Amino acid sequence: MNIKSKMQKSNDGMLKFNKQNILSIIFMAIVFIGSLGVGICLVLSEFLYPDIENLYACPTWYQVVLYIFLAVAIGGLIGCAFTKNRQNTSRLECNIGVALFCVGFILMFVLALVRSEAHILNIFICIGGAICSIGFFCGTASLIGRLKKNKTDVEISTGLTRSDNVLAKVKQILKQENISYSEIKKASSGFTNYVFLIDKKYVIKLTEDSDKKSSLRKEINLYKTFDFDFVPKLIACGEFENYQFLIISQIQGKRLYSIWHTLDNQTRKDIMFQIANILKCFHKVNAKLPKKDVIDEWEKYWQTQNDICIEHLKQLEIDSPEIEKALQENLKFLSDNKYCLVYNDAHFDNFIYDNGKLYLIDFDRVIYCPIDYELMIFKSMCDQPWKFANETDEEFTKKEDYENLPALLKEFYPEMFDFQYLTERLKFYQFHYYFQQAYSKKDRTWAENLIHEFILKG
């Protein structure tokens, strides 16, 4: 984290701390107002209804007013507790809470003893009760906050972080699968699942999230189906306690993004030939996918996506009848389809190059759909290669190094390009792909630029 980020985080924390203290003072004032109101009601009852010994025998309006003040006081106490129940509670705040409790209790107790017939003391007794209650609630809540902080500090100091808890599960899984190891390292990638590297020999992916389990099971099923030498080997898979896990061999080599700028034209052409053959083999795989990843009614699917897009336009407050019309008109280009298993993530960060041989990794985005959809990510990478590169490789990505790749891929795999309206289809796919990104970031300017470009090219 850089200095600016640290300062920003510190400022945010201080702002939050100040807001909590202000809220705490407000809630304390509410408690005093409520308690004062209760005390005044009790004093008035002595003057207005001296012959009534039971409050329930007092008029309804009097009871309502009394209970309203009582509710205000209780609500204020609950508010005090919530503002103090936090991990940045100081020891001083705990001590103040204890002191308030003691002072309020003593005040309330002493006044109750000397009350006699001086009914005006009811007001001060109630105030003493308010101070006592505030001290009790705030002190207890502050203590809970301190305990939370101490627990967090212990976890940090002893390394008991979430990742380390998962690491313990990884060790248990490796023991279960009889896999010996000397080093386990958390991978820098792996945003969907927990990913660890084992002695530079194996990769283990695991997740306990129910939604992500479905994606990991899909990947496991694909590995069981594959019989290729260009993908990692399946070592083990299954469930351990509440975790779904997958262990595969670790591919040695470098990601294409990191070396593409260093390669000569002939080597690049050889690699594109390998990419074409890898995709050809992949498209012939007959694998069972989850229902949500099987899209065998292409026009119907994109009609739904158009409807979603129009709804998102409304949420971004973009009124564009032209884009609605253009999206609907583009559906006519989607009738000619050749369905197959589509990798759906063919950019250079997912290809590993090692001594002249190319490997393909990561299969969580695989779907069943028309074959030309494979070109969507690939063409997007060629148009803007830096968008798909990681931060380390981004500075080496130059558009001129990627401009001729679609032509090379078409030379080696012409069947993927054999669509009458391929240009229109890809333009349509790409609009939806980038628009969803713009919508997720609530970036109206980006969305409007995409709309303008889509209509202009149409």
Q: Are 271 and 353 in contact (CB under 8 A)?
A: yes
Residue 358's closest CA among 226, 230, 201, 223? 230
What's the pLDDT band for 135 if we cut at 50, 70, 90?
A: low
Question: 90 pLDDT exceeds 70?
Answer: no
Q: Are 192 and 212 in contact (CB under 8 A)?
A: yes
The DSSP bridge pattern shows strands 254-255 and 234-240 to be: unpaired
Q: Are 256 and 390 in contact (CB under 8 A)?
A: no
More reliable by pLDDT, 267 or 112: 267
Alpha-carbon span 56 to 64, nearest angstrom: 11
Strands (E) across 278-345 are located at 339-342
Q: Are 358 and 280 in contact (CB under 8 A)?
A: no
Q: Nearest-5° angle of CA 102, CA 108, CA 114?
A: 130
pLDDT, mean of residues 274-301: 94
3-state secondary structure string across 253-269: CEEHHHHHHHCCHHHHH
Q: Are 96 and 102 in contact (CB under 8 A)?
A: no
The DSSP bridge pattern shows strands 367-370 and 339-342 to be: antiparallel
**List of domains in the chain:** 3-158 (no CATH), 162-249 (3.30.200.20), 254-457 (3.90.1200.10)
- State the DSSP code for 233: P
End-to-end alpha carbon distance in the chain: 44
Residue 402's closest CA among 275, 252, 278, 230? 275
State whether residue 202 is helix, strand or coil. strand
How far, in whole angstroms, is CA 210 from its chain's centroid?
14
Which range (79-93, 120-134, 364-378, 421-435) has the least confidence? Answer: 79-93
Q: What are phi and psi of 101, to 5 degrees?
A: -60, -45
Instruction: Please list the residues that pair with 249 across neighbouring strands.
Output: 202
pLDDT, mean of residues 405-426: 95
**pLDDT (0 to 100) of residue 71:** 78
Alpha-carbon span 436 to 380, nearest angstrom: 14
What's the pLDDT band for 9 if we cut at 50, 70, 90?
A: very low
Containing 410, the helix (H) or strand (E) segment is helix 405-412
- Of all residues in the chain, the percent with pLDDT exceeding 70 is 69
Q: Are 79 and 117 in contact (CB under 8 A)?
A: no
Instruction: Indicate the average pLDDT of the chain.
Output: 80
What's the pLDDT band for 458 if we cut at 50, 70, 90?
A: low
Question: 55 pLDDT exceeds 80?
Answer: no
Alpha helix positions (H), 54-203: 60-84, 91-114, 121-158, 162-176
Structural tokens at position 83: 């503002």
Residue 333's closest CA among 434, 431, 437, 449? 431
- State the DSSP code for 339: E
What's the pLDDT band for 88 if we cut at 50, 70, 90?
A: very low
Which range (206-220, 266-280, 434-448) has the least confidence? Answer: 206-220
**pLDDT (0 to 100) of residue 146:** 55
Q: pLDDT (tens digit, 9 = 90+) per residue, 19-41? A: 556 766 776 777 677 667 776 77
pLDDT, mean of residues 327-346: 94
Query: What torsion do the CA atoms of 450, 454, 455, 458 make, to the nearest 10 degrees?
Result: 170
Alpha-carbon span 398 to 157, nearest angstrom: 44
Q: Nearest-5° angle of CA 184, CA 190, CA 191?
A: 140
**pLDDT (0 to 100) of residue 74:** 73
Structural tokens at position 410: 């078409």
What's the pLDDT band for 87 if we cut at 50, 70, 90?
A: very low
Q: pLDDT (tens digit, 9 = 90+) per residue, 215-261? A: 899 999 999 999 999 999 999 999 998 899 999 999 999 999 999 99
